[in-house]
Structure 1
């Protein structure tokens, strides 16, 4: 990860939390571990009212194994009252964090990761899938994820469910594998008809990911949000 001078600057000098609840939540989710955080990408609106962040939280490494290490944060400032509020999501992949922020008004170009912030996509298939996740991330609900960073061949596996889509295989597994020697990564997607089949693949991993389903028309659905997993993949560090 980049050096500590990439710690997030939330630009809150002179601002007070909009409520006690905001103050407590901001401390618990952002401020308490800010010394271990690295800003991967940020965008500030020209009027100064909104700031968007993709953050890596290094403190997660010492917590519950497998937890998402990325935070998407949206700071909202009221310049008249000099108060702020915020919302955030803990997400496993940069493209998912970017998608979450884009759906909240951040320009896609503004939240792109600059060179050196994370590993580089190893092939065109990875680039294409990342772009689709950024664009269509709100077509899916996040059911579960597991990030394994215990070696130089790190990986993140993500379980999604399609929302409001007429598809035969609504459950998707994303597999990102990073090589920290070459500092590159690949991202692949597989589609499953049932939740059980998707979780079984995540636990077994003895066969390749099945081919992803073709894109379909979205009818409705909320943004990607973390939720309680139906079953946790049976892996430990």
Structure 2
């Protein structure tokens, strides 16, 4: 049994498109903070602050022991302007701000070393969640692979475009998603795609299949060329 669990954890670990994922029970504050890809990693129980590039808004988690206080939105003066209960579930998450400071995406941990995407827009200094793009990604994945239940498709944000309007994403699913939970037998692959955060639409010409025998590396052809040049 331990061997099976170890294999599953290893498989989930290898699914990360950007870096090793922080687990639900991880409370090592040294793993948090600004990451090499520019995102900010929040760790359960640890204080953290992800400030927008223009410095006007910050996503803040206060340090805690047992019960997590709500995640806060601070204005330029450090005052609490809003709380984000959708992020206040005692799970790790990372915040990636768009260059124009009008958007950010969160890769929110859901367990088993896997995350799911949440997109937020700043509207009149208020943080508003925009779920349309995530739903579009799930629809594309489940249409291509009918064996995948929608709840088993986890979009992950990878990189912003320089104009802050488009987002590179990749789908993640547990290795057993098409076996244990499927109504229709079959197999699946992770999919790369680029979406427009403004209208929640995915560019269908950007959909790429992630090969099982290759590491998770963002495509560099076609619509991905501009993103790849920013490496």
Task: Determine if the TM-score, normalized by the shorter chain, exceeds 0.5.
Answer: no
TM-score normalised according to structure 2 size: 0.37
Between 1 and 2, higher relative CO (CA 8 Å, sep ≥ 6) is seen in 1
